[in-house]
Amino acid sequence: MPSTVPVLPEGVDPAWLPPDAFRALGSRRTLIHGSGPLVETVHDEVTLACAQFGGQVVRDATSASYDLVLRVAGDDGAEVGEEGFLYERAAGTTTVTAAGHRGLLYGLFHVVRLGEDAFRGTRPREAHRPATALRMLDHWDNVAVHPVMGQVERGYAGGSLFWQDGRARGDTERVRAYGRLLAACGVNAVSVNNVNVHDVEAHLLTDRIGEVAQIAEALRPYGIRTHLSVTFAAPVVLGRLPTADPLDGAVRAWWAKAARGVFEAIPDFGGFVVKADSEGRPGPFAYGRTHADGANMLAAALAPYDGTVHWRAFVYDHRQDWRDRSTDRARAAYDHFAPLDGEFDANAVLQVKHGPMDFQVREPVSPVFGALRRTRVAVEVQATQEYTGQQRHACWLGPMWSEVLRFRPGGEQGLTVGELATGGSVAVSNAGDDPFWTGHPLAQANLYTFGRLAWRPDADPLRILDEWIALTFPSAPERLAAGLRAVLRNSWRTYEKYTAPLGVGFMVQPGHHYGPAVDGYEYSPWGTYHFADRDGIGVDRSAATGTGYASQYGEPWSALYESAVSCPDELLLFFHHVPYGHVLKSGKTVAQHIYDTHFEGVEEVEEARRVWAGLADLVAPARHARVAERYDEQVRGAREWRDQVNSYFLRKSGIPDERGRTIY
């Protein structure tokens, strides 16, 4: 029987699962107890590691001594659920006990992460379980190359892993390798097509479901459930019904039949992802119905099969009049969904972007998490770096995501976002068919970090970064590890420094969103304004004089954000329009802060490039060259951001840089 473990095509980077990462596991004597497809995956992984490093694997023996025991034991591990596992080390044996097959797979990768530490000393029994049942990546992949968005919308790592030349890829070995990488960091679900469902992708639901089944088969050995983005208008587009009204009996029957067909082809199918009544996508508003009506119709179709509908809460008016300051895009998700709290079915999950706008480098946490206490919500982040350098800039997002997941909408004694997001954690994928998976090899750290934070939202992101370094560069000297920490740990704040200041956001080139354009969206219908004039900058979102967005938060946040005096500096311009001479808590004026941070940001990127250049003797040549090329571009881009932003505000405000540096 062929091994489950995929063989990477020549030239494809192994990312955080290089062979050496399995050295400690593969040099031991291991007993595996249990049966089932995922247990066979575990067996194949251990067998391959032993073949490479001299160990031995035994199946279902009852006596003898072993370095490692991996066992499915039913009730013995029931306390941690189907995906959790118990870990302990005593009397010279490391034991992983799982109630379910998925738990054994995750327990195996836990041992791989620990390396030699898994076989040292003693450890009392530890219970490991994921915080939520769903940890998903949304691929914005198009089956056919879209004339505007290309193969992958907001994709910065080549073409799709799943689709090529208008069809599912025939060779699924790399898809299986992708599933392996995801399982190793805790991801258990993938949506395989764009949330903006075009005509070709619509057919994946019905007459092309066999292609989705082919992808699902490749992902299944690593416990990855497949999800599908569908168009709300499918009964009209595919079924030729005159309506897609969610309360129409014929429409509901059509969806029930479609769901049945999907589960007949893919028995472990996860469910649907839906973008409706947003940015021109069809939805229930056309029929005078609510989002709850729309989501519940699909939930009913999926319920007999334990499927879930993920209904995205990214809904707003994208045809705003820039002259109208009363309309505020930031308010939209709360205004649409807070009144519907408690009206969604149990298998309907609202997928909420972590901030109220659109994955900016700095936003407040969305108030929707505090408003929906009777609705299952999932938190959505963006691993693909649409607004954070597009994987041409090194920008590790772990600290940002950790801040979001640790935020307590109800105040100090309340639950965190990570605890409130009972519907799961979702990231827009940053992977493609690039040899390095993520285009920029260091962007692999974002994909890995998402999976580990989805498993445990309160984990220390810096420890996760160290995990990624140790796996990706096994046996690396401390000089390499220290260099990687140096260039990544503060890279998000560095990117923030040389781009949009103090939470203002969206100072990007329209359309492709790469590079600076301070007024790029200032007069657009998309509702992404900063209102800079000769006197000041920022959006007044206070309840007293502005759009009222600040009042969507509970206490203490609404009071904190309401006043420019108490508002945190990093969010000041998101919540308030202030003069350029306004003094921040740092003691600097807004104008001087803009100048200083943009100069600092460039200096920090230049230093990161220097550090990376000094690691050339410790990194594989191809990987080092790719990162070096990306750092050259990041330095160029950072300088362009610095000069355009600083020049814009010097000319707008007339306030000189107190340090006399060159501003054009």
Q: Which residues are known catalytic residues?
A: 279, 358, 386
Single out the residue of 552, 566, 260 nearest to residue 409, CA to CA: 552
Please state whether beta strands 536-537 and 348-353 pair in parallel, antiparallel, or not at all (unpaired): unpaired
The answer to whether residues 97 and 85 touch, using CB atoms and an 8 Å cutoff, is: yes
Q: Which two tokens stand for residue 128?
A: 């490991």
The answer to whether residues 246 and 276 touch, using CB atoms and an 8 Å cutoff, is: no
Residue with tokens 């990093």: 570
CA atoms 126, 130, 131, 133: torsion sign: negative
Helix (H) or strand (E) holding 456: none
- At 332 the three-state DSSP class reads helix
Residue with tokens 């691929």: 139
Cis peptide leading into residue 130 (ω within 30°) = no
The answer to whether residues 364 and 571 touch, using CB atoms and an 8 Å cutoff, is: yes
β-bridge partners, 93: 90
- Go through 230-255 and write b for each residue having 16 or more CB atoms within 10 A of its CB, e for each that does not: bbbbbbbbbbebeebbbebeebbebb
Residue with tokens 């530890």: 126
β-bridge partners, 164: 167
Q: Using alpha carbons, list the distances in angstroms from residue 319 to 6, 7, 278, 528, 586.
A: 47, 49, 11, 11, 38
Q: Which two tokens stand for residue 155?
A: 């994709």
Q: What is the DSSP letter of 170?
A: S
- Spatial separation of the C-alpha atoms in residues 575 and 537, rounded to whole Å: 11
